[in-house]
Structure 1
Amino acid sequence: MGVETVLHDDPELTARLPGRTVDQPLRVVLDSRLRTPATAKLARENTLILTAAQPHAIGSAEVRRVGAEDGRPAVPDVLKALKDAGATSVLIEGGGQVAASFLRAGVVDALEWFRAPILLGGEGRPCVAALALAKLSDAPKFRRLGVEPVGDDLWERYVRL
């Protein structure tokens, strides 16, 4: 997750499934300039904050510096840091910038896409930021595996071609 989501929503980023008794997964924040407040719900143990800035303490979260690309944590360095932390798979629940950076890096294997029956238009934020495509054929391609209703929303599952 990116820091913008932390600043705007202050999420917990925890699994809250009925009957879940196993340990919570590692929560990760990509924070280029270390703007995560020490009072954020994510500024606690079992949270890894990856930054391109000089690290400093933020609550009880672990803060690590990684290489930068365009001033943001570089995806290959992020993935190495996650591997070093023991991660064997990654669920990316980020905004448009985070989504675009992992798609541009070509490391997204699958998409879990949720759509609500509302239109935000220009007032909304893009779910995927610019991908810097030179031509349409450069766009990442996915095959839809299924669609399920979830209340009024749709849950679509895709796999990369």
Structure 2
Amino acid sequence: PTLYLHDAAVSAPDAADAGFASVPGREGRLDLGAVLALLAGRGINEVHTEAGAVLSGALLKAGLVDELLLYQAPILLGEQGRPLLDGMDITRMDQQRRLRVVDQRQVGADLRLLLRA
């Protein structure tokens, strides 16, 4: 079933085919730790997230990711290109997050990497 999560400040609309749950907000965004705790409380122990740079970066920064599936196209973008991860605040090499390659394979022209912390 579909579950829509929202900040406590938002009222949930009525929908017969979906559930709604309120989670605390933090700095104008949902508290990701609270989201995962709510899902765990409902027996959901695996979450797959297809996300952009902001949510991906926030999940990694909060330490809420144990596995990353990354598709890398053989394309280079300049400094104006969208980042893979936003908000990680990594400015020096000694702040890097080291990941372990569990699997790698070619999918068409792209490289598919399964990475774990």
**The residue matched to 1:148 in structure 2 has which SS?**
strand
Q: Per the alignment, do residues 61 and 142 of structure 1 end up closer, same or farther by CA in structure 2, a change over 3 Å counting?
A: same
**Structure number having the greater strand percentage:** 2
- Which residue does the alignment assign to 2:84? 127
What is the match of residue 43 of structure 2?
86
Alignment of 1:1-161 (within 5 A): 46-52=1-7, 53-57=9-13, 59=15, 60-121=17-78, 124-133=81-90, 135-160=92-117
Superposition TM-score, scaled by structure 2 size: 0.81
Q: Which letter maps to 1:76? A: G
Query: AA paired with 1:97?
Result: V
Give how far 1:146 is off. Answer: 2.8
**Identity of paired residues, percent?**
30
Tell whether the 8 Å contact from 1:51 to 1:72 is kept in structure 2 after alignment: no
CA distance 1:117–1:79, shift in 2 (3 Å): same
Q: Which moved more, 1:81-90 or 1:54-63?
A: 54-63
Q: What's the TM-score, normalizing by structure 1?
A: 0.61
Query: How many Å apart are 1:107 and its aligned residue?
Result: 1.7
What SS class does the counterpart of residue 3 from structure 2 fall into? strand
Listed as ranges, the gaps of 5+ residues in structure 2 are: none
**Matches of 1:131 and 1:145, distance apart in 2:** 23
Q: What CA distance in whole angstroms lies between the structure 1 residues aligned with 2:19 and 2:75?
A: 38
Shift of residue 82, structure 1, vs aligned partner: 0.9
2:50 match: secondary structure: coil
Aligned length: 115
User: What SS does structure 2 have at the residue aligned with 1:132?
Assistant: coil
Structure 1 spans left out of the alignment, 5+ residues: 1-45
Alpha carbons of structure 1 residues 145 and 48: separation in structure 2 relative to 1, 3 Å: same
